[in-house]
Structure 1
């Protein structure tokens, strides 16, 4: 049997209209030649070939083509999708050319619409249309004197600004009326321990008649923290909210959000008064803090900062009706002072991924892309806003650190005044004493470096670009090795090197490190805290970097070893502004220690030779002295009597307890007003 063929003898051809070329067939079907040839080859369109003629000699019958096209449309439901994109033959009928042009126009129009929508969506996802909310703000400096400490707050009408200052000697609450150039001390030395950089310490009552402030009475426990008030125009200090660490009023002044200082910083919402039976809206896990409660403008959410002080936190929000917290930022750095200009625009302070700052950031809470707003050397210490978002008040900070030395004597009861040290770098902090030398850290812009001072001359041992040390460098017992932890390019790294700066090597870059390291007395391992599911624990890392073994299972950081390796002391979780000092045996087991509770900002503990005592900073957040705890008797002794304006932020002491180096921080801040009314 032969294959079927569409070849028909000339004598049998029908008398109806015949199309004698590919061009005529294409014109009849309003298609181009390529399309009809493809249909004939792939879909069996009825095309006949003349017998004995060359291969290109074809013809088709109109009736057959009509029948085939009707069948094809019934099968496919529509014409070939390429129909709208064909080239119309020159001799095609006018109506067919118009149809093709219409289809072309429709296709181009749809393509353009889709392109515009796609580009618009992409630009919005990248926040191409985002604008700096303070780009056109006017700046005014409100203070022009020294010893401004910040924590600035602004009244709801934007007319009064309160701040902390040591202008009269002791830290007090001050107030000024915007534009008056006059400043009034409201507390006159009657209140102690006003400073706490981890929370919003100052505020105003909704009607602006009172300035409110955080306070912990001297010598009281963390649970004794409360919010007090004083009339804006001056008057008697009175209790405002008992046992409330921070609060914020809703925009209409009818509801109050607040948290206490008990474990987890439980967050409450009430109708304007704190009641003993208020039910907590949210409470964090132990060791995690929730600070800076802030109402959303529409009253639907409470925004707050949650994390582990002081360098791992983010902004979250929770519905005022209850529910689970929702994460807003994902920076995992030190975040402070969130304010909302409107229900979309969030401003806040945050350090960068390497720990430098804090800088001023903005974010649209819908798209949640952070934008850093300042790129100069100025750092921010506080931020507040009026409820309508038209005025901001901020503290610009340029703190200065320096090192001082003093010698303690066993026989003399008189403590000499600390003497400033001359160092090659412009600033110095994180001091550590080694045998015959001193190590310290210095900063220049976004870069930090480790220096060695020996024999009156200084040598730079290490410098990191865009690097931030997580704590003081650690010196091995024999003084030959140095270990230090760094946050750099978003990663935490533990380094070790020789005491002369040679032999730099990485011990670990796989852990989320916290705080300063400490050498084990045998020099075979380094102890440091690392985050495990958000909680820091002490780990023992071998010097070859091959092993990392958990040492303490509970919340623990900032280790210090006894020189015989029998025990290690460490700091526990913060509760309010305080933390407990604990100890573990060399194998991680329990080790007894007299009760010791210290204030935030003094985590470094030094263990004297033969384990006879611990030396530490004790006092208020902004003013501490050196103390000694006798481990045999459990009795504490004050070693220094530094002035009330002396902020000792760090120290180190020789193993024999005689040579001391103190790190002093001096604040140099200014209060600035940002007027956004023209935005």
Structure 2
């Protein structure tokens, strides 16, 4: 294999590999092509349009495809290089494009240019294209050697080798993408959409029988979530579980039909007297009856092979190990397990039964599609969203549909992926958001949960008793709503409804002032105020990377800290206000780092998986979220000098990461319950005693909150999703 040197790295386009001081990385084909285009430019700014034209020749894709590849390229550079300065080799120039810095020359390859295309067998490029590309490479090399000035000539000559390789790879890629059938621009073109529910309480979770005749879905009624079932076209549904399966409302696929459609499987959770949680797969006859344990009762997300003879599933264990077994649960064998802290969800079989496709990453919004051979082996990454990805389904042998949030965090939207091209395409540009998806009738019929989220901000007093919904008061905000509220000395800070702005509402006069707005960015977590309420720190995603921002409470003095650090989760100010604690990905783990405001070096704060920290009122220790195992995570603590502090066992549900100390105490205010039935609890970190602070009605979905300086009031946001089921019948192809 032939390689080229870029700074501290060796790049092997044919193998799709990037090797650096800290290791070797495997790049997706499109990421490699973007790298080659940037290398060809040799320090020149490359516009997004130029990248689209050269790396996706003849294919229509959105700008977010470029952002995803740039983000992935920086991540590979960081991992292979071993530190943040290597990721900074790819520079973003706002409103202009991208530039690759630090390109070092290397010898020209002798291999045919077609061999440089990742995943493209030698000789597959059309002969005339290969010949023209070879001529371009030869011309570039001769032009570089024509200058007699020693140093510039040597630099140009060697850079021309990289440029020639890039030209060849791009030309071969163009030939490759012109082969075969044209990319399907919209798999749903000509489809018929039919709304099939018109009732409150529909929540994410759908299933469709293989013949496309029966639908099962989840809905909340009388304070609980149940599975409902009905025949397509009847308009009538009946409660299948009737409260007999506890805690069905899970963050991954909860429902399924057995291949013969005789039973519906339901994933539920149980808690014993000590509070220990276990997961179970139950089966209920489609005609009705008592739930009973399914053949793999200790597992979840059961999915059947195309011939109905095998199962794939995973237990709730670290790394969500994927198992394949016979239909009766025998011959159980593990085919994959993710690293600790990484999750695997939504496993499905390919139509030919050769592969298992699944979603892997850090929930909720650092996920992608992967696949692995049904017999095991090395997993292969299919997409580079690094977003909230869910519910993949096949509509034919090569076309996957799935749900994913966009690069700015909006959505989830419906995406399509032709596995021969592997270029994700958002389907439709409307405002329809989808939260679950199922397929049947040989890929000709889909059932989706379509939702419209509504956000608002409320406050509730901390009482001796558990406050009820009637005790809460909605705060007047602009029509777009608000999220992630934070309380300052004389103002309420909140995130604008679409996540691209920060606003401040005065507590005296109610005046709303916009502090920050960037339509190309989106806040990924709640902002943080320093102890005086004079400065704000927040993390915002843009161009595929998330950066830590800091500004004054009046919106002035905005700047980005630690530009090379791709951060995650919510920031936290140090007690002295001189630094910010924020999580960032390091290898497969997410760890806390200290970012000084004065530009001093960034220092790792924790060695284990950690994020979303909060300092105690006296600054003597901090608490943080540990790695998720199943749909929950532990709360851990460190003293100010870095020693482990012992805590009572505190396990919180996924999505309830916000930790706030009650002022002047060592008690934490936390959220407990499922996504649409959460309440506030007070946990004393010394005694372990707990007290319920609110007893809201079901459906009062709380996402984020803050506590007033006197500890007498909680402000929180409420997210209501008005959902319904939509039947999508595809046009015959």
Q: TM-score range by the shorter chain?
A: 0.7 to 0.9
| Corresponding position of 1:657 | 711
- Contact 1:568–1:586 (CA under 8 A) maintained in structure 2: yes
Q: 1:270 aligns with which of 325, 329, 332?
A: 325
- Contact 2:360–2:367 (CA under 8 A) maintained in structure 1: yes
Q: Deviations over 1:627-657 (max 9, x none)?
A: 1111232211111111123222222112432
Moved more, 573-582 or 355-364: 355-364
Change (3 A) 1:414 1:360: closer
Q: Is 2:635 the counterpart of 1:593?
A: no
Q: 1:247 aligns with which of 299, 302, 306?
A: 302
- Contact 1:123–1:129 (CA under 8 A) maintained in structure 2: no
| Corresponding position of 1:200 | 253
Cα distance, 1:342 vs. partner?
A: 2.2
Q: Deviations over 1:549-591 (max 9, x none)?
A: 1111100011111122211100111111111000111232212
| Corresponding position of 1:216 | 269
What RMSD in Å do the two structures reach over aligned CA positions?
Answer: 2.5
Kindly report which structure 2 residues correspond to 1:361-510, keeping only aligned pairs within 5 A, or say none. 361-386=415-440, 388-409=442-463, 417-444=471-498, 447-455=500-508, 456-510=510-564
Q: Deviations over 1:249-288 (max 9, x none)?
A: 011211111111111111111111335x723111111100
Give the secondary structure class of the aligned counterpart of 2:664: helix
Q: Is 2:608 the counterpart of 1:554?
A: yes
Count of residue pairs brought into register by the alignment:
567
Kindly report which structure 2 residues correspond to 1:152-167, keeping only aligned pairs within 5 A, or say none. 152-167=206-221
Kindly report which structure 2 residues correspond to 1:244-393, keeping only aligned pairs within 5 A, or say none. 244-275=299-330, 278-386=332-440, 388-393=442-447
Q: Is 2:666 the counterpart of 1:616?
A: no
Counterpart CA distance in 1 for 2:540 and 2:409 is 9
Q: Deviations over 1:187-226 (max 9, x none)?
A: 22333322123x1111111111212211112458676111
Q: Deviations over 1:340-390 (max 9, x none)?
A: 122211111111222221111111212211111121111110111126211
Moved more, 555-564 or 608-617: 608-617
Cα distance, 1:520 vs. partner?
A: 0.8
Change (3 A) 1:125 1:495: farther
Change (3 A) 1:213 1:413: closer
| Corresponding position of 1:15 | none
Q: Is 2:593 the counterpart of 1:539?
A: yes
- Contact 2:183–2:418 (CA under 8 A) maintained in structure 1: no
Give the secondary structure class of the aligned counterpart of 2:339: coil
Counterpart CA distance in 2 for 1:158 and 1:302 is 22
Counterpart CA distance in 2 for 1:127 and 1:370 is 17
Give the secondary structure class of the aligned counterpart of 1:441: strand
| Corresponding position of 1:579 | 633
Counterpart CA distance in 2 for 1:671 and 1:621 is 19
Give the secondary structure class of the aligned counterpart of 2:367: strand
Counterpart CA distance in 2 for 1:400 and 1:440 is 15
Give the secondary structure class of the aligned counterpart of 1:573: coil
- Contact 1:268–1:279 (CA under 8 A) maintained in structure 2: yes
| Corresponding position of 1:516 | 570
Counterpart CA distance in 2 for 1:384 and 1:537 is 36
Counterpart CA distance in 2 for 1:228 and 1:453 is 52
Cα distance, 1:169 vs. partner?
A: 4.4
TM-score (norm 1): 0.79
Counterpart CA distance in 2 for 1:494 and 1:310 is 19
Change (3 A) 1:491 1:413: closer
Give the secondary structure class of the aligned counterpart of 2:283: strand
| Corresponding position of 1:232 | 286
Cα distance, 1:426 vs. partner?
A: 2.2
TM-score (norm 2): 0.74
- Contact 1:572–1:582 (CA under 8 A) maintained in structure 2: yes
| Corresponding position of 2:68 | none
| Corresponding position of 1:83 | none
Give the secondary structure class of the aligned counterpart of 1:330: coil
Change (3 A) 1:589 1:337: same
- Contact 2:269–2:279 (CA under 8 A) maintained in structure 1: yes
Counterpart CA distance in 2 for 1:186 and 1:133 is 33
Give the secondary structure class of the aligned counterpart of 2:561: strand
Give the secondary structure class of the aligned counterpart of 2:200: coil
Kindly report which structure 2 residues correspond to 1:78-157, keeping only aligned pairs within 5 A, or say none. 121=175, 123-124=177-178, 128-157=182-211
Cα distance, 1:534 vs. partner?
A: 2.7
- Contact 1:492–1:509 (CA under 8 A) maintained in structure 2: no
* Higher-Rg member (1/2): 1
Give the secondary structure class of the aligned counterpart of 1:121: helix
- Contact 1:540–1:550 (CA under 8 A) maintained in structure 2: yes
| Corresponding position of 1:568 | 622
Counterpart CA distance in 2 for 1:387 and 1:298 is 16
Give the secondary structure class of the aligned counterpart of 1:366: coil
Structure 2: unaligned runs, 5 residues or longer:
1-126, 133-170
Q: Is 2:245 the counterpart of 1:191?
A: yes
- Contact 1:147–1:669 (CA under 8 A) maintained in structure 2: yes
Moved more, 235-244 or 570-579: 235-244
Give the secondary structure class of the aligned counterpart of 2:484: strand
Give the secondary structure class of the aligned counterpart of 2:681: strand
- Contact 1:295–1:302 (CA under 8 A) maintained in structure 2: yes
Change (3 A) 1:235 1:476: same
